[in-house]
Structures are given as structure tokens and as C-alpha cells.
Amino acid sequence: MSQPRQPGVPYPRLPLPDSQEDLHAFQRWLGEAIPMVGALGIQRMTLDSGTLIWQLALSPSLNDKGTGFGGALTAQTTLQGWCWVTLWLRERGLAQDVVVAEASQRFLAPVTGDYRITCASSDLSGPKQLETKLKARGKGSITLNQQLYCGDILCLEASARYVVLPRP
């Protein structure tokens, strides 16, 4: 990153991909566009059949008890949903702004080691419904679910509704 981000100044968009998204380039851009990303411990992003999967290190998100800090885990799930929608739009050649409208989390077990978070539409028809709304109105929303696993243990479930804003 060449210069620190300034409040009120949007970061330049990453050019739309010519073909398949380079997730490594997207992750680098993400770290520049959103400075806190570098502190979240994201080790790898993959996309598999409509599911975005992140592998994360626990060490940057430790709390005073030596387990995952709920605020960091919440930030990760919220950001991952934003990335899912942004990547979905980019795959369709669309560069529109995405915001989170509402989110909830349910903590089920402590996170005690490195972990993975999965993110997918809460409804199989969700992506198609979003595509229909975007074509008809230029804006739309989708609800996504995230699940955080430490090994085979489900530690956190999250759900959030993301809104794709109309083009300016």
C-alpha cells in the first residue's frame, strides 16, 4: 500500500476480470481498500460451487481467554459476505457498491485454533432472485449464511442481508 487511506475518499475499484477472478489479486486489493483486512488473519480464499471459503489463523483474533474474539469473528463473517456479493457481481461484469443492511451471529463453541468460514446464499434461488432484481431495478439484496468451523466443530453461525446499490 503506497499511502494510508483517508476518510471520505473512496478507494479505486479493482478492474473487472477478463475471465476467471484471480482471488489472490482480489485479496491483495481488499487489504489495500480496507486496511483492517491485514489484521484479520485471512490465509486463503477459495470459491467452490457458489460457496466462498476462507482459511484463517486464530492468532490475530485472540481474546483475553486465548480463544477467538467475538468482535473479530463478527467482522470476518460480515466482510466475507460483502466479498461473496462483490465477487458474484464481478463474475457478471458488474461494478456496483455493496453494503450490509443487517446481520446476526450465534456463537456455539469457542474457537480454539485456526479455522475456516464458509459463506453461501441462504436460499438456492437467492442469486437468481438478485440477478432478476438487478436487471429490473438496478438494485437488490440477498441473504447469506456464514458458518465458522474449528476442525469439525461448528463454532459460529451468522446471517446477513447485503444490498447492491444502484449505479450512480
What domains does the chain contain, in order, with CATH numbers? 23-164 (3.10.129.10)
Q: Which residue has the cell 450512480?
A: 168
Q: 129-159: per-residue pLDDT in tens?
A: 999 999 999 999 999 999 999 999 999 999 9
Answer whether 89's CB lies under 8 Å from 120's CB: no
Q: Which residue has the cell 473487472?
A: 16
Its pTM surpasses 0.75: yes
Separation between Cα atoms, residue 141 and residue 50, nearest integer Å: 16
Q: 84-130: per-residue pLDDT in tens?
A: 999 999 999 999 999 999 999 999 999 999 999 999 999 999 999 99
Q: Which three cell numbers stand for residue 35?
A: 486496511
pLDDT confidence tier of residue 2, bands split at 50, 70 and 90:
low
